[in-house]
Chains A and B, each alone.
Chain A
Amino acid sequence: MGSMPMPLARSGDSMPATKAGMVMAHPAPLPRGAPPVGSVLYKKFSLELKVVQHEILPGYVVHMMAYNGQVPAPTIRVNEGDWVWVDFTNASDEMHTIHWHGLILDYRHDGVPYVTQDPIMRGQTYSYVFQAKPYGTHFYHCHFGTSLHMQAGMYGAFIVERAADPIREKFPYTQDYVYVLSSIDPISVQEQMNAMFARMRQRDVLMKRGALDLRTQNRFADLKALVKAVAKGYVPPYLRSRTSPRLPEPTFFLMNGRAAPATEPIRVKEGEWTRIRFINAGNVWHSLHMHGHDFQHVCSDGSPLPAPVRGNTLILAPGKTEDIVLLADNPGFWAVHDHDVTRTVNNGVYPGGAVTHIEYEGFNGTYTPSISLDE
């Protein structure tokens, strides 16, 4: 992982083909206007969820949940208007979905458990079908147990390209980078994953003998049913008798699944434009500051801004995507870092975290960067 730009995932590309003999989850109806099942018009993708060991820094390895074993998940690039067919197979013990963040689609393919579909169980495959729109930088992520599952690695970029891209027309960029930011409390993730998998294994037993009722899953038909159950002695899992209050406290801040100094540099060519798509798939804000250059902020949530905004610091709220373009006109090595410097640490040790740098191709400076782990 980590080589830039992110691998393209296209039909006929390196993504695995849909496997024969899959156990299909209860399917959602095809969206209106969709080509018939099996049509060659679909751009088909397969994603499989598994538990992996992911190295966020040399020597720091954590268990994560990863689409196709990658953190972040493979970047998917399609053209505006393409019909997209994604077979998602769950090869883990926990339940999952995929939510297509920023895409406008038929609600049955939006991937929100208990709202648009049942969660996808172990061994099941669910097909998401939608038309790629609107144009721009979006992402996809699990929407089951989201606070844990996203932290644990279930996110990837989803780029909808347009042949006549207004950004490219104005700023003829030759490079296109994607940086997915996230934050993780590895100990909390580990603890929660263990608890979640153990719980699922117990529920499996009940399911097999047809005894897994809604209350055992802490599920209710509606708020009224919950209120009634609580009045009758049901103990919700958020009460102190069942949990010890604790929020994850992120200790590692990742760019494309890695923390500095393991993050990939932004490699630019002097005199050329570079587009960088930042996606915040984490749960903290970032304030990315770029040294030695002003960039043009061109898109937010995938949508072009009315006019490019010149700046050197980009605010990146959780769930937002922000695109910038950058003219490489000042050769050197330049830091790009979160200016909330509490996010430029690894386990509290500075420097690290959400930091990378700009590197000019072929540049020979009088000072060359090296790595420091502890200032």
Chain B
Amino acid sequence: MGRILRLSRWTSKAFAGALVVGGVAFSHSARAQEEPPDPAAPTPAVQLDVGLRAVTSVNGTTSYGGSKPLGRIDFSDTYAYARGRTPLFSPNDRAGALLAITFPDEYYEPGTLLVAEANAFYESKWLTVRVGRGRNRSLIFPLPTLRDDDLIRWSDVQNPFSSGKSTADHQFVNTADVTIWPTPRLFADVHVENLPNFILRPDALGAFAINSYGTTVGYRQIPALARTSIVRKIGMGVNVYRLDLPSQDFGFDALAGAWMNLVPDPVHGVDWRLQAIYNRGTPSLILQTVNDTFRAEQASIVSSLGYSYRREMLPTFRANLVGAYKRYVRDGIDQYSIVANGFYALGATTEIGVQYQFRSRPRIPESFGDSVASSIKLAFVIALDTTTNRIFDERDSLLNTESGYLP
């Protein structure tokens, strides 16, 4: 996104419509940038949500038959965002801008920042539209691991154009997506994405071309009832991506998942998640390079069982067990990982915890790390979110869901 996208009264609807109908891209409005503020027209209200998330841990890693045990101080996944939202002239509609940066990866050098989100979005009762950079649809829901990439080889559809340098390759994309909400809980999205391409030279014309197209449909319980309902989220999606290889033009993947509360209780809650991914990739590919591990035909399944104790309905303690399994179809290679963690809440937004992970990834390329390893992480996590100048109710609030929608 090189330019700020300013939506006029006319374009806000037209542009949403255009995306739905034809995948037509947005128009650049250079005019918006130079216009001085109009003192005769007061500034409309802007709701500003700002947040900081510090995910820190001291890690100890032991590998079997490889390198020596390592200690490390890890602050990857630490994240900061600012989101502004403003009402549009059409009373049910709003638009906003989101910017987020993150320290992407345990193995990145300190100081490396990644723009995770930089997008303009539009929201109404039945439609959300997002254009820019943001989290992709490579998973149906997050897993209860310390960091979002602890199980990324299993939990997310792999970006076939990744070099393997950063797990963020699989997560953050340039995207234009439209989600329709026929009811507050049912959704269907269509997205076109530019998956970061590290196969082409960065200056190659195709490096920033749209190379993935997909759709996701599902059911998502509203946040206010997420703890006390049986179904939290059910979804499935498919993506087609352009490989543009001499031997193969397109690849595709499909994913599906269900997140249920086995015990929908606000004090003693037990939840269960299951997600499966099939990635057709390039079926003939033999694993040789790191990139091959993202592009070869593969199937993975992840499942977690979690218990959360919220004494007097306040965060207190939670523990999770997560299992992940993957098979590379052609080579018959199995990979798996097990994660166990427990977190104790020092405050409503602050947790300390410990996570143990065992990984077995036999016969992967050597440059990709040890094939069998286990790690233990002592974690200290703070997630701060604050809203200034609140003017909106959320689209999926309890009031808007059960007492009629109001913007």
Contacts and interface: CB of A to CB of B under 8 A. Distances in A.
Interface of A: 51-53, 59, 61-63, 187, 190-191, 193-194, 197-199, 201-206, 209, 211, 215-216, 234-235, 241-242, 244
Given A190-B393, A204-B228, 5 more contacts: A53-B403, A59-B91, A197-B398, A206-B265, A216-B312
Interface of B is mostly: loop
B406 interface: yes
Nearest to B391: A187
Report, nearest first, the 6 A-B pairs whose CB atoms are least far apart.
A202-B266, A198-B224, A51-B403, A216-B312, A63-B399, A197-B398
A234 B390 CA distance: 30
Q: Which of B264, B347, B403 has the most CB of A within 10 A?
A: B403
A67 B347 CA distance: 39
A52 B403 CA distance: 7
Interface string B101-122: 0000000000000000000000
A190 B399 contact: yes
Interface in B385-407: 386, 390-391, 393, 397-399, 402-404, 406
Interface string B291-332: 000000000000000000000111000000000000000000
B228 A197 contact: no
Nearest to B399: A63
B406 A191 contact: no
Nearest to B264: A205
Nearest to A218: B312
B228 A235 contact: no
Contacts of A242: 314, 348
B399 A202 contact: no
A61 B312 CA distance: 35
B377 interface: no
A193 B398 CA distance: 9
Interface string B186-209: 000000000000000000000000
A202 B406 contact: no
B267 interface: yes
A286 B346 CA distance: 45
Contacts of B391: 187
Interface string B220-232: 0000110110000
A194 B313 contact: no
A67 to B, nearest CB: 16
Contacts of B348: 241-242
Contacts of B267: 206, 211, 216
Contact of A216 (B313, B390, B399): B313
Contacts of B224: 194, 197-198, 201
Nearest to B225: A201
B407 to A, nearest CB: 9
Contacts of B225: 198, 201
B397 A194 contact: yes
Given A201-B224, A205-B265, A191 B390 contact: yes
A203 B227 CA distance: 11
Nearest to B266: A202
